[in-house]
């Protein structure tokens, strides 16, 4: 393993202000073959999972980034003197899921899926930057169109929208629920 490349990649992931994409890495490390970069990142990520390490390199939001491990949440919060992070409300998560799977969507389409008005949840999600307005639909009233943001991927630890729970996973959950009923 190329130690020098590994060290360099670690430094770059550390200073990056957002998940460091393979494309950016390649742009900075011009001339280094993509497979070598890939191998270096993967070695780093694997090593960071070792015992005795409290910060690991994870893949999320389309790139690589540093994060603390879940086990240290309590102490981290004590140091930063902040409360436990709020989960999204059920309404917020439902709205987010509807957008994630049906994007690009309008407010009324989301409300139709949920059966309830979703304007309030949209505002919450916009504030949290989990969704964004991407334009207008060519339809009567030209409603605003929503999409999930890069923050959304990061928030749920997804690398891309392809990482959303698949039809098969969803079907499995529904099966389980029915099995419990029977």
Which positions touch a second copy (CB under 8 A)? 1, 3-4, 6-12, 14-18, 20, 24, 27-29, 51-55, 66, 68-69, 71-72, 75-76, 78-80, 82-83, 119-120, 122-124, 126-127, 133-136, 142, 144-145, 156-159, 163, 165, 169, 172-174, 176-177, 179-180
CB of 177 to a second copy, least distance (A): 5
Query: Nearer to other proteins by C-beta: 27 or 182?
Result: 182
Tokens standing for 11? 């430094």
Residues that bind other proteins (rule: CB under 8 A) add up to a total of 81
**Site residues for other proteins, window 144-163 (CB under 8 A)?**
144, 149, 154-158
Which residues are registered as beta bridge partners of 144? 136
**Site residues for other proteins, window 63-92 (CB under 8 A)?**
65-73, 76-77, 80, 84-92
Query: Binding string to other proteins for residues 25 to 64, with x set by CB under 8 A, is what?
Result: ---------------------------------x-x----
CB of 28 to other proteins, least distance (A): 13
10 near other proteins (CB under 8 A): no
CB of 68 to other proteins, least distance (A): 4
* Tokens 């690589």 -> residue: 64
Burial of 128 (0-12, 13-18, 19+ CB in 10 A): middle
User: Of residues 101, 137, 159, 161, which one binds other proteins by CB under 8 A?
Assistant: 101
* Tokens 């540093």 -> residue: 66
């Amino acid at each position: 393993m190329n130690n020098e490349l590994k060290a360099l990649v670690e430094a770059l992931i550390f200073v990056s202000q957002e998940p460091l994409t393979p494309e950016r890495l390649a742009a900075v490390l011009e001339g280094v073959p993509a497979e070598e970069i890939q191998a270096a990142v993967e070695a780093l990520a694997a090593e960071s999972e070792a015992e005795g390490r409290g910060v690991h390199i994870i893949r999320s939001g389309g790139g690589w980034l540093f994060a603390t491990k879940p086990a240290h949440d309590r102490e981290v919060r004590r140091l930063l003197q902040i409360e436990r992070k709020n989960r999204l409300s059920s309404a917020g998560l439902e709205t987010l899921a509807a957008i994630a799977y049906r994007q690009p969507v309008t407010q009324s389409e989301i409300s139709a899926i949920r059966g309830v008005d979703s304007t309030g949840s949209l505002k919450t999600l916009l504030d949290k930057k989990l969704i964004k307005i991407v334009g207008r639909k060519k339809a009567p009233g030209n409603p605003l169109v929503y999409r999930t943001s890069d923050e959304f991927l990061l928030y749920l630890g997804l690398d891309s929208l392809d990482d959303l729970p698949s039809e098969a996973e969803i079907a499995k959950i529904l099966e389980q629920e029915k099995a419990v009923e029977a």
